[in-house]
Structure 1
Amino acid sequence: MTAMAPGTARWLLLARAGYLLSLILIPLWLLVIDADSPYSLGFRIGLLIPLLLPAVGVLKGKPYTHAWSGFIASLYLLWGATSWWVAPDERGIGTVVLITLMTWLLASTYYARHRGRELGLGLKKSK
């Protein structure tokens, strides 16, 4: 495997940090802070399943996983932004969650791009 450039390593570190903080804060928000939610506990736990899907690939630094994990981050961004808007009493945690999700999304995107170029991955151009 080829060595990773320092800039790429920084994107990986930021992406992992954003993902891990999201992995902590989103369940905290869903299960503890918003415990009086009208949704059942089973439903709220089910909402966490997509968050776990990219865990192995993100932590191992696989560029392909970082690329598609942005779709999952985007789903939670939509949920977080909507919750931030409709629940003013939860804007503090909402703001922090949105920042961690944006960190995860943007850093993963840049990491996938830079690491993919280092490894020679990508779409082949047709002649």
Structure 2
Amino acid sequence: MTNARLFHWGAVCSLIALIMLSLAWELVLAPLRPGGSFLVLKAVLLLLPLMGVLRQRVYTYQWSSMFILAFFAEGVMRAWSDSGLSQTLALVEVLLTVCYFASVVLFVRAIRLQQP
């Protein structure tokens, strides 16, 4: 397996895991309000880069590397301010965003190195 392919699958897996985490967090595990909250809509935002990432479009990788930083910031702030399960979920969000960001940067670098 080439490096680019490995980093591609790292980005895909971390993005899908982040979508699932967002849905579970805001609907079931620790919603801000009982029964769920409108913060579940942040999972919809994560769907924006999904097709481009699945199709290995370098442009999508590039803009999503900046896009994901908003979710990193949310995770850091909620890890700092929340407690209990919500704090743990926020730390998982931070971990997934870091994995996604690193995979994206390394994928784009590997693709650039493969080009003549």
Q: C-alpha displacement at 1:70, in angstroms? A: 1.2
Matched residue, 1:55: 50
**1:81 matched to 2:110:** no
Letter in 2 for 1:100: L
TM-score by length of 2: 0.84
Q: C-alpha displacement at 1:51, in angstroms? A: 0.9
Q: What is the rounded CA distance, in whole Å, between the counterparts of 1:117 and 1:37 in structure 2? A: 48
Aligned length: 114
Q: C-alpha displacement at 1:56, in angstroms? A: 0.2
Instruction: Structure 1: state its 5+ residue gaps.
Output: 121-127
**Do the aligned residues in 2 keep the contact of 1:84 with 1:95 (CA within 8 Å)?**
yes
Q: What is the rounded CA distance, in whole Å, between the counterparts of 2:69 and 2:112 in structure 1? A: 21
Q: What is the rounded CA distance, in whole Å, between the counterparts of 2:103 and 2:53 in structure 1? A: 11
Q: For each residue in 1:29-66, what CA deviation from the matched residue of structure 2 results, as whole angstroms up to 9, or x when unmatched?
A: 1222232439x83x323333321110101111112111
**Do the aligned residues in 1 keep the contact of 2:22 with 2:42 (CA within 8 Å)?**
no
RMSD across aligned C-alpha pairs, in angstroms?
Answer: 2.1
Matched residue, 1:16: 12
Identity, % of aligned positions: 19
Q: What is the rounded CA distance, in whole Å, between the counterparts of 2:33 and 2:81 in structure 1? A: 13
Matched residue, 1:124: none
Letter in 2 for 1:101: T
Letter in 2 for 1:17: C
**1:28 matched to 2:20:** no
Instruction: Quickly say closer, same or farther: Cα 1:64–1:56, change in 2 above 3 A.
Output: same
Instruction: Structure 2: state its 5+ residue gaps.
Output: none
Letter in 2 for 1:69: S
